[in-house]
């Protein structure tokens, strides 16, 4: 049965060459209905957060496979910041995936076979210099077309105008990725949690211009008043994922 394959059974390794993460503050009542049983919204004041991660990934493979045989691809992912309480009573912060886009057909196929991350095959155009990092994403249904440009030329960056965060220290707590990703398995009424392990994690705030973000133009985000709360950029991050753990909900 397909759902058994989607439990992240294998340990995975990869290398993030670059990653740009935008976090949008969205009124909590808009995001709560998008979460399955077992997950609660991770909030700051009256807001929950939708993160958009743009990641240039290298050498993705099962951890026992040599890096040279791994897969290289570009990824855009849409995630909600959430919390989950384990059966042992521990509260974990993590991400609930709404949608993923990739430029590789093989990643789309294996990603949808082995995860619940909803991969679409899309086109990516990346322009990168020491001063600027620009990404354009064209999706097959047009619902997640994205064009964003980040200024890498300065080290002193203020929070975006209107951000609910008091300072960059608070914003950094919602810079993603969080340690865990959560899937809901409806066939068994269970949560699948996958723990990510990162190295050299030092995201730096950047100023961005979002030329287009079609994802926020669709329901339920249309007219919800989403606010760009922070933007962080990082490079050269070794990353791995431990095998998934399934816990049946009460």
Q: Which CATH number characterizes residue 236's domain?
A: 2.40.400.10
- Please give the pLDDT value at position 176: 65
What is the rounded average pLDDT of the residues 23-34? 97
Domains of the chain: total: 1
pLDDT-based confidence at residue 187 (cuts at 50, 70, 90): very high
- Please give the pLDDT value at position 156: 82
pLDDT-based confidence at residue 177 (cuts at 50, 70, 90): low
pTM of the model: 0.94
Tokens of residue 13, six digits: 């390794």
Buried b (16+ CB within 10 A) or exposed e, 197-235: eeeeeebebbbbebeebbbbeeeebeebebbbbbbbbbe
What is the rounded average pLDDT of the residues 228-239? 94
Per-residue pLDDT at 134 exceeds 80: yes
pLDDT digits 0-9 by tens, 40-71: 999 999 999 999 999 999 999 999 999 999 99
Contacts of 136 (CB under 8 A, 6+ apart): 124, 125, 126, 146, 147
Print the domain residue range for 144. 2-248
Tokens of residue 83, six digits: 């919390």
Tokens of residue 131, six digits: 């001063």
- In the 8-state DSSP scheme, what is residue 38? T
As a whole number of angstroms, the distance between CA 85 and CA 182 comes to 11
Per-residue pLDDT at 202 exceeds 90: no
- R_g of the chain, CA atoms, integer Å: 17
As a whole number of angstroms, the distance between CA 210 and CA 137 comes to 12
């Amino acid at each position: 049965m397909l759902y058994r394959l989607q439990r992240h059974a294998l340990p995975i390794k990869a290398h993030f060459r670059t990653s740009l993460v935008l976090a949008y503050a969205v009124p909590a009542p808009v995001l709560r209905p998008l979460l399955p049983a077992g997950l609660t919204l991770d909030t700051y004041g009256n807001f929950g957060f939708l993160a958009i991660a743009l990641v240039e990934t290298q050498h993705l493979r099962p951890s026992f496979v040599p890096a040279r045989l791994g897969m290289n691809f570009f990824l855009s992912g849409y995630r909600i910041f959430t919390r989950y309480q384990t059966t042992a009573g521990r509260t974990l912060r993590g991400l609930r995936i709404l949608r993923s886009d990739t430029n590789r057909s093989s990643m789309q196929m294996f990603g949808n076979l082995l995860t619940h991350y909803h991969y679409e095959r899309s086109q990516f155009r990346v322009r990168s210099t020491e001063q600027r990092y620009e990404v354009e994403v064209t999706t097959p249904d047009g619902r997640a077309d994205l064009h964003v440009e980040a200024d890498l030329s300065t080290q002193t960056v203020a929070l975006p105008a209107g951000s609910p965060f008091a300072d960059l220290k608070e914003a950094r707590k919602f810079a993603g990725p969080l340690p865990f990703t959560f899937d809901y398995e409806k066939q068994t009424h269970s949560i699948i949690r996958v723990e990510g392990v990162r190295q050299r994690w030092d995201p730096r705030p950047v100023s961005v211009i979002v030329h287009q973000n079609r994802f926020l133009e669709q329901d339920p985000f249309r007219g919800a008043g989403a606010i760009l709360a922070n933007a962080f950029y990082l490079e050269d991050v070794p990353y791995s994922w431990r095998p998934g753990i399934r816990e049946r909900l009460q």
